[in-house]
Amino acid sequence: MAAQSEWYSIIGSSMSGRLAGKVAVVTGGASGIGEGIVRRFSTEGARVLLADLDEANGTAIAAECGAEFVTLDVTSVESWQALETKTKADFGRLDIMVNNAGIVSNLDITAVTLEVWQRLINVNLTGVMLGCQTAISLMRGHPAGETGSIINMASSTSYLAIPDVAYTTSKAGVVGLTKSVAVHCANEGFNIRCNSIHPGATLTAILKTAIEQMPEVEEACKRMSPLNRMGTVEEVAAMAVFLASDEASFCTGGQYAVEGGTVSQHPRM
């Protein structure tokens, strides 16, 4: 965490305040890509609600970067309702929703249980749907009119499957959900955009731990991309900043890959 904090302090002076004055919610913001987005949004001038079940890490990260922690179970309608009420009361608006919270199972079709399947789909897909509903409700009440940006975290597995059947299915579902939300908002005349981000192998703290335990994982992850390296949390966060900003005003229903060409190259001999 210290190294990441140092990185943000170094780049902070060069940030342009692209999200100045905007209010953002980032789910799953207590670790990994979500944490990176919280930190980057904060440096860009956004007022950020870090929403997660991990109170210890979430509170610490929020304190470091000037965000605010809020407990959120993305599978719970009541939890989303509480978040909506708080956002209205504290800010009177919502400009950006990042539906990032997600889990994996590492179980294939022959091993996955119904309980595991339902849990993963509830978090990775139903949680995103509830986040989109909440975002649209808040954004329709925006003081500047019906406006905002919804960003859903998908995956390179939305294009190319892995054996983790529930994860692959959920991330493919995020694509359809995102496009449906985008066209609905456009057809209704709302200036509410909805896009998905598709990371590839990304060097998060969890992956760093796995590499420490199994060094061979590093080379395997690097080989996934023709660039022969993993992506960084900061690179994914940079895409989120673009989609959240007014610079992406004509972008909706899109799939934005941050995976180093992983899904573009035919497997080599």
CB 254, CB 195: distance < 8 Å: yes
Does a structural domain hold residue 193?
A: yes
Q: What string of DSSP letters covers 22-51?
A: -EEEEETTTSHHHHHHHHHHHHTT-EEEEE
- What is the number of helices (H) and of strands (E) in the chain? 10, 7
Check which CATH number belongs to the domain holding 188 and give it.
3.40.50.720
Res 217: pLDDT: 85
Sheet holding 68-71, edge to edge: 68-71, 47-52, 23-27, 96-99, 147-153, 191-199, 255-258
pLDDT in tens, 82-132: 999 999 999 999 999 999 999 999 999 999 999 999 999 999 999 999 999
Query: Does residue 12 form part of some domain?
Result: no
Confidence bin at 58 (pLDDT 50/70/90): very high
Count of domains observed in the chain: 1
Q: Nearest to residue 128, comparing CAs of 187, 95, 172?
A: 172
Q: What is the distance between the alpha carbons of residues 136 and 146, in angstroms, rounded to a whole number?
A: 8
Q: Is residue 217 part of a domain?
A: no
Evaluate whether residue 37 is within a structural domain. yes
Per residue in 191-204, pLDDT (tens digit) is: 999 999 999 999 98
Task: Categorise residue 167: left if φ over 0, alpha if ψ from -120 to 50, beta otherwise.
Answer: alpha
Sole residue written with tokens 């057809």: 187
- Whole-number pLDDT of residue 199: 96
Domain assignment present for residue 265? The answer is no
Q: Of 58-67, 92-101, 154-163, 216-225, which gets the smallest average pLDDT?
A: 216-225
Res 15: pLDDT: 57
Active-site residue list:
167
- Tell me, yes or no, whether 115 lies in a domain: yes
pLDDT tens-place string over residues 238-250: 999 999 999 999 9
pTM for this model (two decimals): 0.92
| pLDDT score recorded for residue 170 | 98
Give the confidence band of 16 by pLDDT, cuts at 50, 70, 90: confident
In a domain, 8, yes or no: no
The domain containing residue 85 runs over which residues? 18-201+232-258
Q: Is residue 185 part of a domain?
A: yes
Give the whole-angstrom CA distance, residue 61 versus residue 211. Answer: 24
Range in 94-98, 185-189, 212-216 the model is least confident about: 212-216
Query: What is the share, in percent, of the chain residues with pLDDT greater than 90?
Result: 86
200 CB contacts (<8 Å, ≥6 apart)? 156, 224, 225, 230, 231, 257, 258, 259, 260, 262, 263
Cα separation values, 156 from 140, 197, 225, 260, Å? 31, 9, 11, 10
Q: Where does residue 133 rank: exposed (0-12), middle (13-18), buried (19+ CB within 10 A)?
A: middle
Average pLDDT over the chain reads 93
